[in-house]
Amino acid sequence: MVLTQEKSIAAKIRSEFPILHQEVHGKPLIYFDNAATSQKPLAVLDSWRHYYEKDNANVHRGIHSLSGRATDAYEAARDKLAEFVNAASRKEIVFTRNATEAINLVAYSWGLNNLKSGDEIILSVMEHHSNIVPWQIISQKTGAVIKYVELTETEEFNLEQYKSLLWEKTKLVSVVHVSNTLGCINPVEEIVKLGHENGAKVLIDACQSLPHTKINVQGIGCDWLVGSGHKMCGPTGIGFLYGKEAILTAMEPFLGGGEMIADVFLEKSTYSELPHKFEAGTPAIGEAIALGAAVDYLTKIGMENIHTYEEELTAYLFKQLGEIPNLRIYGPKPSLEGKGRAALAAFNVEGIHASDLSTLLDHEGVAIRSGHHCTQPLHRILGAAGSARASLYFYNTREEIDAFIVALKDTIDFFGTVME
């Protein structure tokens, strides 16, 4: 399957997403909130439904047929994810509720046991709250110090400042691959290499990159990487942690209970081998299986095809937004071909509150985000209480961008008339 601008191909892709074919306030839905969550194709919905209709049973615990089928499908999803990110072993993929839980797993299991007073953690000012708050808690408990990489003049990751922060006291670097507000693509391979040269472990938040481009964890070289299923055509309630096998083996369990044990005695317990050591209790079985179906779906389309098509959409979106007066887009500008940043634009229009923009656009059938996008510290640095954000995915089209621009201009004109 190849993505092009041909309407027949675009129609084929969109026909597989039932939710896109509806009206909102009497207008055709234009869904531009993909950085918050993606929509789900029939293949994913059918997979989830099949599990609950045909195979619903607990995994790893029964010898009856339903349990066997459920276990096989659940573990097959792990294999698919391992291949999708090029993990060295299936043992390196741990299912979690979401990426937030995956980061907390590392923070509590590794951070509490390896960080001490005076050690340093490096984050960036563009991090999502889920990659700030856990480390603040760990800092308070251990005495470790958090330092932040600031922005360049083009509102990107300041690599030179990052280099100046690294030294023997740096024990952890935890940064986002793609900013959900700035849209910048951070140089994670170099970030990891420099971190390792200074003896630090490195975690990458790939929530905004996994759905849009090919990820190779061995190529990146990171110690951990986290992802969220619902942003990559999968269901909510499922995410994953990738970790190097040796590091995960050395880490203590995050949660205790069923599934994660080998033997339990009244005095002590022993733990399962990877990855089950970190998967306490009954997991989100149907959700994991459906995430596996999402991986199959994305793989069939081709991540390279998705990335190339989204670059075209990005170039077109920025060209159209660039023609609107008094509109400020945050983050670096893409090239004329749409390269150099993600397919999202967080912006503000002078004199108009982002939430007001979003509300009126909704009445035109356009779904965008408004608020701080879980990046309050970044918005303070940008001098904005919040921003409006249009974020695209491979099922969006140029025609939708055109309709969005018309609705946005009309909305801006409306506020201009009201304020006169």
CA distance 240 to 229: 8
Write the pLDDT tens digit of every residue in 9-40: 466 789 999 999 999 999 999 999 999 999 99
With a cut of 80, say whether residue 158 has pLDDT above it: yes
Do 308 and 349 belong together in one domain?
yes
Torsion sign, CA atoms 134, 140, 144, 146: positive
Q: How confident is the model at residue 10, as a pLDDT?
A: 63
The whole domain housing 267 covers 45-299
Number of domains in the chain: 2
> CATH number, domain at 135?
3.40.640.10
| 281 shares a domain with 150 | yes
What is the structure's pLDDT at 417? 67
Q: How far is CA 330 from the centre of its chain?
A: 19
Domain's final residue, options 266, 299, 332: 299
Examine the domain organization and report whether 290 and 306 are in the same domain. Answer: no
Residue 40 lies in a domain: no
In a domain, 138, yes or no: yes
Q: Is residue 36 part of a domain?
A: no
120 in the same domain as 77 = yes
**Section 238-266 average pLDDT:** 96
**100 and 115 housed in the same domain:** yes
Helix, strand, coil percent values for the chain (each to nearest 5)? 45, 20, 40
Secondary element (H or E) of residue 93:
strand 93-96
The domain boundary residue, chosen from 299, 320, 342: 299
Helix-then-strand count for the chain, H and E: 15, 17
Asked if 50 and 86 sit in the same domain, the reply is yes
Does 291 share its domain with 320?
no
Active site residue 233: no
Last residue of a domain, one of 273, 299, 325: 299
Q: What is the pLDDT of residues 105-140, one digit of tens each?
A: 999 999 999 999 999 999 999 999 999 999 999 999
Q: Is pLDDT above 80 for 5?
A: no
Whether residue 8 has pLDDT greater than 70: no
How do residues 194-220 score in pLDDT, each as one tens digit?
999 999 999 999 999 999 999 999 999
**Mean pLDDT of all residues in 238-251:** 98
Look over the chain and give the mean of its residue pLDDT values, rounded to a whole number: 95
Are residues 325 and 381 part of one domain?
A: yes
Domain assignment present for residue 143? The answer is yes
Catalytic residue (one of 184, 222, 233, 374): 374
Q: First and final CA of the chain: distance in angstroms?
A: 51
pLDDT tens digit sequence for 284-343:
999 999 999 999 999 999 999 999 999 999 999 999 999 999 999 999 999 988 899 999
